């Protein structure tokens, strides 16, 4: 469980100034949870450990690119991990096939991990907005974001025309944005 008072933003800004102690503090704070998420995404511990290592190298190298105004520090580091995991899956030439129930469960876990330090009201609001989307719009968004599938792969998996998938994702993201602004 993460420390609710850990200041991710200031820690990343310190990392940008080459503060190794800040980097070690960030690693101690998040590595166990990030490893768990990487294992969930990649399905095996060894590739997950490699992914975690690569993510922290990128966090250290790119800490200067973090901008508070664009989002939370914790979400930023988890996005780096997620992209690293998806790149590994693409390099292997495979995607993880999940049942809809497992995908929804992993989404809930990932959202909780990435948003844990945010206020409980914000988490409920985001989940509520996701749940308000009807399944035909929500499911393609989740497959794209959490599984890294392309529009073409989503269309094939859901046996739905590509144009329909693109339209559902576009309209679903618009609806999410509107809901989150309320």
Reported residue count of the chain is: 182
Confidence at 4, pLDDT banded by 50, 70, 90: low
Regarding whether 62 and 110 lie in a shared domain, the answer is no
pLDDT tens-place string over residues 102-115: 444 444 444 444 44
Output 88 or 18, whichever has higher pLDDT: 18
Closest residue by Cα to residue 140 from 111, 163, 114, 124: 163
- Specify the number of domains making up the chain: 2
The residue among 47, 73, 94 that closes a domain is 94
My answer on whether 173 and 114 are in the same domain is: yes
**Same domain? 50 vs 127:** no
**In contact, 64 and 16? CB cutoff 8 Å:** yes
Q: Which two tokens stand for residue 19?
A: 């503060």
Distance CA 111, CA 109 (A): 5
Q: What per-residue confidence (pLDDT) applies to 123?
A: 64
Q: Which of 36-50, 70-84, 93-107, 151-165 has the least mean pLDDT?
A: 93-107
Cα–Cα distance measured from residue 135 to residue 59, given in angstroms and rounded to the nearest whole number: 34
Enter the DSSP assignment of 44.
S
Say whether both 118 and 47 belong to one domain. no
* CA dist., res. 7 & res. 56, Å (int): 17
Global confidence as pTM? 0.55
Question: Is residue 51 within 8 Å of 81, Cβ to Cβ?
Answer: yes
Are the beta carbons of 43 and 96 closer than 8 angstroms? yes
């Amino acid at each position: 469980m993460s420390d609710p008072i850990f200041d991710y933003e200031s820690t990343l800004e310190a990392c940008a100034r080459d503060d190794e102690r800040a980097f070690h503090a960030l690693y101690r704070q998040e590595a166990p949870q990030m490893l768990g998420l990487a294992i969930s995404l990649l399905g095996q511990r060894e590739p997950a450990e490699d992914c975690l290592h690569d993510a922290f190298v990128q966090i250290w190298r790119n800490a200067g690119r973090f901008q508070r105004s664009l989002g939370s520090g914790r979400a930023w580091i988890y996005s780096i991990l997620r992209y690293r995991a998806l790149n590994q899956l693409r390099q292997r030439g495979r995607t993880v096939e999940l049942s809809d129930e497992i995908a929804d469960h992993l989404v809930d876990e990932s959202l909780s991990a990435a948003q844990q330090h945010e206020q409980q009201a914000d988490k409920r609001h985001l989940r509520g907005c996701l749940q308000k989307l009807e399944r035909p719009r929500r499911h393609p968004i989740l497959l794209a974001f959490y599984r890294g599938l392309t529009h073409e792969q989503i269309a094939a998996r859901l046996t739905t025309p590509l144009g329909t998938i693109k339209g559902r994702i576009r309209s679903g993201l618009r609806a999410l944005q509107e809901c989150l602004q309320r």
